[in-house]
Structure 1
Amino acid sequence: MVVLATKLYVEGEARERALNSLRSLVDNAVGDLDVDYEVGVRHDDFPSVTVEGEDAVVARNVLREEWGEVVPDLEPGETYVGTLESWDEEGFTLDAGEPVRIPADELGLGPGSPAQIRERFGLVQHLPLRFVRGGEDEPARLADEERDRLYEWSRGNGRLNVNSATRAEVRATLNRAGHARDYVTVERLGLLEQSVICTEDTDPPGLIASVGEYLPAELRAVVP
């Protein structure tokens, strides 16, 4: 079994749509392999995929590579994926199957409080983030590759980051609201966390104002 490092936290019909979306994504990833699989959701909202068959080892590795994995024991110095659960003046708290505290000094994303950093980089709640587990005398920190990814967001075209919606739902909302020509693509960050990559002439905060009423979600702009 592989526990995917992304969360399914919506309820009702939205939950069923998200679960169907996840089943499709898992099928796209491992459907051509000689395996049988079953998708479930743990009590803490992390999805689990039980895989059996001749290619089970390969399939599990594919899923780990694509989503990251929640494991029972976090080893010091190793890189894992956790979801952004909360933030305060002292740092971020990620959920990696257990709470992981990243002090403000270990974010490595420039000046400002954790709340200001979250705003600047458009970090929506539940966003999967890679981190390095600390040791006995060392705190956890954001992984170098995660810092590089977030800085890259601030250098390219603007972005609109969204949670609580699948990629298909975000694309449909943008198109329905008349913004089909205002974005390049919708990048999947997690099952329910997406990043709308804007065209060069699109103003991300303006896009929030236009589509916010259609998406019952948290929206954060990244402005280069």
Structure 2
Amino acid sequence: MVVLATKCYVAGEARERALDGMGSLVANALEELAVEYDVGVRGDEFVAVTLTGEDAPVARNLLREEWGTVTDHFDDGETYTGTLDAWDEDALYLDAGEEIAVDTDGLGLGVGTADQIRDRFGLVQHLPLEFVYDADGDHELAETARDRLYEWTRGDGRLNVNSATRAEVRATVNRAGHARDIVTVERLGLLEQSVLCEPATDPPGLLAAVGEHLPAELKCVVPQ
């Protein structure tokens, strides 16, 4: 079994749709391999995939590269992935199977408190983020995560969303009449998406237009 660093935290029909979508994503990733799989959810809401067959080791590596994995063992200086669980002025708190606190200095994302930085970069709850583990507790956001977030602020604006699949977000944007105002919807996690805006689109305006249709947290990324 491999535990992926993405969560399924919705309930009812939304949960069924999310897991069906996850099954399709896993099927596409593993379609050329001799492997059987079963997609489920652990008690802590992380997605778990059970793999059997001669290509199971290869399949685990493919899923690990695409989604990151949750582990019960951490090595000093190595990079892992956690999901944004909570925040305050002092730190962002990631769930990586155990709580990982990354303080403001460890974020490496410029001035401001940790919660101000969260707002500036549009970080929605449950967003997967890579971090470098420190045995003394001085964890840092990984360079890959920092580079990605800084790239967001240099683009044409984004609207980040949680609690919805990529297909649900695209359908909502279309239903709100804003299909021409976006470039695409990028998948950040199973239920975390990033709507990439057209150059002339105002992210706060898009949020106002689609927010009433999505029972989700929405955060804008405004170009700087």
Bigger mean CA deviation after superposition, 50-59 or 181-190: 50-59
Specify every segment of 5 or more residues in structure 2 that has no aligned partner in the other structure, as ranges: none
Runs of at least 4 residues off by over 2 Å: none
- CA offsets per residue over residues 118-140 of structure 1, 9 Å max, x none? 1110000000000000123x511
The aligned residue for residue 176 of structure 1 is 175
The aligned residue for residue 199 of structure 1 is 198
Counterparts of 1:10 and 1:21 in 2: how far apart (Å)? 13
Q: Match of 1:36, as an amino acid?
A: E
The aligned residue for residue 213 of structure 2 is 214
Q: TM-score, normalised by structure 2?
A: 0.98
Bigger mean CA deviation after superposition, 47-56 or 169-178: 47-56
Counterparts of 2:108 and 2:199 in 1: how far apart (Å)? 27
Q: TM-score, normalised by structure 1?
A: 0.98
Counterparts of 2:96 and 2:182 in 1: how far apart (Å)? 32
- Aligned to 2:174, the other structure's residue is in SS state helix
Contact 2:109-2:146 at 8 Å conserved across structures: yes
Counterparts of 2:166 and 2:190 in 1: how far apart (Å)? 8
- Tell me how large the CA RMSD over aligned residues is: 0.7
- CA offsets per residue over residues 17-36 of structure 1, 9 Å max, x none? 10111001000101221001
- Aligned to 1:10, the other structure's residue is in SS state coil
Counterparts of 2:43 and 2:154 in 1: how far apart (Å)? 38
**How many equivalent pairs are there?**
223
Specify every segment of 5 or more residues in structure 1 that has no aligned partner in the other structure, as ranges: none
Task: Give how far 1:40 is off.
Answer: 1.0
Q: Taking every aligned residue pair, what percent have the same amino acid on both sides?
A: 68
> 2:3 aligned with 1:18, yes or no?
no
Counterparts of 1:216 and 1:85 in 2: how far apart (Å)? 18
Q: Match of 1:185, as an amino acid?
A: T
Contact 2:183-2:196 at 8 Å conserved across structures: yes
